[in-house]
Amino acid sequence: MQTIDFSRSYLRFYIDFKKFPAITLSHNPPTTQNEVRISAECRCRLTNRKTGVDSTYVLGASCKTERVGAERDLWLLPNADFCLTASTEEFLIVKNWQKKDMGVMRVPASLGVQPERQVGLVKEAWTRFSIDVKEVEARECKNVDEIVAATRGIQPMVSRTEFTQGDWTVVIEHPVKTMNISDREGVFQTDTGPILLPDLSPERLKREEKLVGCFDLAFSALNAPGFAEFIVLAPTKLSDSISVNHYSVPKRIDGTKNSIIEVV
Q: What is the pLDDT of residue 248?
A: 98
Domain match, 93 and 178 both? no
Domain match, 17 and 110 both? yes
Domain match, 257 and 153 both? yes
What residues contact 171, with CB distance under 8 A and at least 6 apart? 44, 45, 47, 160, 161, 162
Number of domains in the chain: 2
Domain match, 162 and 239 both? yes
Domain match, 115 and 9 both? yes
Q: What is the pLDDT of residue 186?
A: 96
Task: Give the mean model confidence (pLDDT) for residues 71-98.
Answer: 97
Distance CA 63, CA 71 (A): 20
Domain match, 256 and 157 both? yes
pLDDT category at 94 given cuts 50, 70, 90 is: very high
pLDDT tens by residue, 165-191: 999 999 999 999 999 999 999 999 999
CA-CA distances (angstroms) from residue 81 to 73, 118, 123, 221?
Answer: 17, 13, 23, 22
- Going by the DSSP 8-state scheme, the letter that residue 4 receives in this structure is E
Q: What is the pLDDT of residue 69?
A: 96
CA-CA distances (angstroms) from residue 232 to 127, 194, 255?
Answer: 32, 9, 19
Domain match, 244 and 208 both? yes
Residues of the domain holding 159:
139-263
pTM of the model: 0.96
Of 250, 258, 52, nearest to 143 (Cα)?
258
State which of 103, 132, 161 marks the end of a domain: 132
State what percent of residues in the chain have pLDDT above 70: 100
pLDDT category at 132 given cuts 50, 70, 90 is: very high
pLDDT category at 155 given cuts 50, 70, 90 is: very high
State which of 87, 113, 132 marks the end of a domain: 132
State which of 95, 117, 132 marks the end of a domain: 132
Task: Give the mean model confidence (pLDDT) for residues 78-107.
Answer: 97
Domain match, 103 and 179 both? no
Domain match, 190 and 91 both? no
Q: What is the pLDDT of residue 180?
A: 98
Q: What is the pLDDT of residue 87?
A: 98
pLDDT tens by residue, 221-250: 999 999 999 999 999 999 999 999 999 999
Task: Give the mean model confidence (pLDDT) for residues 78-84.
Answer: 97
Domain match, 30 and 89 both? yes
Task: Give the mean model confidence (pLDDT) for residues 160-167.
Answer: 97
Q: What is the CA radius of gyration of the chain?
A: 20
Whether omega for the bond prior to residue 115 falls within 30 degrees of 0, making it cis, is: no
Q: What is the pLDDT of residue 234?
A: 98
Q: What is the pLDDT of residue 182?
A: 97
Domain match, 79 and 189 both? no
Main-chain phi, psi angles of 165, to 5 degrees? -140, 110
Domain match, 163 and 45 both? no
